[in-house]
Chain A
Amino acid sequence: MPEINYRDAMNRALREALDENEVAYIIGEDIGPYGGTYAVTQGLYDEYGPSRIKDAPLSESAIVGAGIGSALLGMKPIVEIMTINFSLLAMDQIVNHAAKLRYMSAGKMEVPLIIRMVTGGGAQLGATHSQNFEGWYASVPGLTVVAPSTPYDALGLFRTSRAMRDPVIFVEHAMLYSVRGDVPEEHYSIPIGMADVKKSGDDVTIVAHSRMVNVAMGAAQELERMGISAEIVDLRSLRPLDMDTVIKSVEKTHNVIVLEETWKTGGFGGEIASQIVEKGFNFLDSPVMRIGGEDVPAPYTYVLEGLAFPDIERVINGVRSLLGR
Chain B
Amino acid sequence: MTTEQQIVKDQVLRRYHKMVLIREFEGESYRQYMQKNIRGFLHVYSGQEAVGVGIIGELEPQDYVISHYRDHGHAIAKGSDVNSLMAELFGKSTGTSRGKGGSMHLFDVEKRFMGGHAIVAGQIPIAVGLALATKEIDKKAIVVCFLGDGAMQEGEFHESMNLASIWKLPLLFVIENNLYGMGADVAQTLAIHDEIYKIANGYKMESAKVDGMDLFEVQDAGQKAIGLIRSGEGPYLLEAQTYRFRGHSISDPAKYRPEIEVSYWMSRDPIKLLQARLIKEDIVTQEELDEIHKVVENEIVEAVNFAEKSPFPNADELYTNIVLGSGE
Query: Which residues of A pack against B, CB within 8 Å?
Result: 23, 51, 56-57, 59, 61-75, 77, 92-93, 96-97, 101-110, 141-142, 144, 160, 163-166, 192
- Complexed CA–CA distance, A145 and B101 (Å): 24
Can you list 19 residue pairs at the A/B interface with Cβ under 8 Å?
A56-B163, A57-B159, A62-B156, A66-B125, A68-B126, A70-B133, A72-B130, A73-B129, A93-B122, A97-B119, A103-B321, A104-B116, A105-B101, A105-B107, A108-B97, A109-B109, A165-B324, A165-B326, A165-B327
Q: Which of B72-80, B134-142, B232-240, B265-273 faces chain A?
A: B134-142
B119 touching A75, Cβ below 8 Å: no
- Complexed CA–CA distance, A265 and B138 (Å): 48
- Complexed CA–CA distance, A109 and B115 (Å): 10
Total inter-chain residue pairs, C-beta < 8 Å? 150
B114 touching A72, Cβ below 8 Å: yes
B19 adjacent to chain A (CB < 8 Å): no
A72 touching B129, Cβ below 8 Å: yes
Contacts of B86 in A (CB 8 A): none
Residue with the greatest number of chain A CB neighbours at <10 A, chosen from B97, B107, B129, B321: B129
Known: A104-B107, A142-B323. Is A62-B132 also a contact (CB below 8 A)? no
Could you list 16 further interchain pairs (A-B, Cβ under 8 angstroms) beyond the known A23-B137, A73-B134?
Answer: A59-B159, A63-B125, A66-B132, A67-B129, A69-B129, A69-B130, A103-B100, A104-B100, A105-B101, A105-B105, A105-B107, A107-B324, A108-B107, A142-B322, A163-B327, A165-B327
- Complexed CA–CA distance, A93 and B116 (Å): 14
Contacts of A163 in B (CB 8 A): 326-327
A69 touching B321, Cβ below 8 Å: no
B244 adjacent to chain A (CB < 8 Å): no
A92 touching B129, Cβ below 8 Å: no
Known: A105-B107, A106-B101. Is A65-B326 also a contact (CB below 8 A)? no
Contacts of A73 in B (CB 8 A): 64, 129-130, 133-134, 137-138
A297 to chain B, nearest CB (A): 24
Selected contact of A62 from candidates B115, B134, B160, CB within 8 Å: B160
Contacts of B324 in A (CB 8 A): 102, 107, 110, 165-166
A197 to chain B, nearest CB (A): 23
B15 adjacent to chain A (CB < 8 Å): no
B143 to chain A, nearest CB (A): 8
B108, closest chain A residue (CB): A108
Known: A106-B321, A109-B107, A141-B322. Is A74-B137 also a contact (CB below 8 A)? yes
Query: Which residues of B pack against A, CB within 8 Å?
Result: 64, 96-98, 100-101, 105, 107, 109, 114-117, 119, 122, 124-134, 136-138, 155-156, 159-160, 162-163, 166, 320-327
Contacts of A102 in B (CB 8 A): 321-324
Contacts of B124 in A (CB 8 A): 65
A72 touching B325, Cβ below 8 Å: no
Contacts of B109 in A (CB 8 A): 105, 108-109
A212 to chain B, nearest CB (A): 26
Known: A59-B162, A68-B126, A75-B137. Is A104-B156 also a contact (CB below 8 A)? no
Contacts of B325 in A (CB 8 A): 164-166, 192
B155, closest chain A residue (CB): A61
- Complexed CA–CA distance, A164 and B129 (Å): 19
Contacts of A56 in B (CB 8 A): 163
Contacts of A101 in B (CB 8 A): 107, 115
Contacts of A144 in B (CB 8 A): 323
Known: A71-B129, A102-B321, A109-B109. Is A62-B101 also a contact (CB below 8 A)? no
A199 to chain B, nearest CB (A): 29
B133 touching A75, Cβ below 8 Å: yes
Selected contact of A65 from candidates B125, B134, B162, CB within 8 Å: B125
A57 touching B130, Cβ below 8 Å: no
Contacts of A74 in B (CB 8 A): 133, 137
Contacts of B107 in A (CB 8 A): 101, 104-105, 108-109
B156 touching A92, Cβ below 8 Å: yes
- Complexed CA–CA distance, A68 and B132 (Å): 11
B120, closest chain A residue (CB): A92
Residue with the greatest number of chain A CB neighbours at <10 A, chosen from B107, B132, B324: B132
Contacts of B100 in A (CB 8 A): 103-104, 106
B128 touching A62, Cβ below 8 Å: yes
- Complexed CA–CA distance, A59 and B166 (Å): 13
A70 touching B129, Cβ below 8 Å: yes
- Complexed CA–CA distance, A110 and B326 (Å): 12
A107 touching B129, Cβ below 8 Å: no
B313, closest chain A residue (CB): A106
B162 touching A97, Cβ below 8 Å: no
A267 to chain B, nearest CB (A): 23
A77, closest chain B residue (CB): B129
- Complexed CA–CA distance, A110 and B136 (Å): 19
A106 touching B98, Cβ below 8 Å: yes
Residue with the greatest number of chain B CB neighbours at <10 A, chosen from A61, A67, A75, A141: A61
Selected contact of B321 from candidates A59, A66, A77, A107, CB within 8 Å: A107
B95 to chain A, nearest CB (A): 8
A144, closest chain B residue (CB): B323
Contacts of A108 in B (CB 8 A): 97, 107, 109
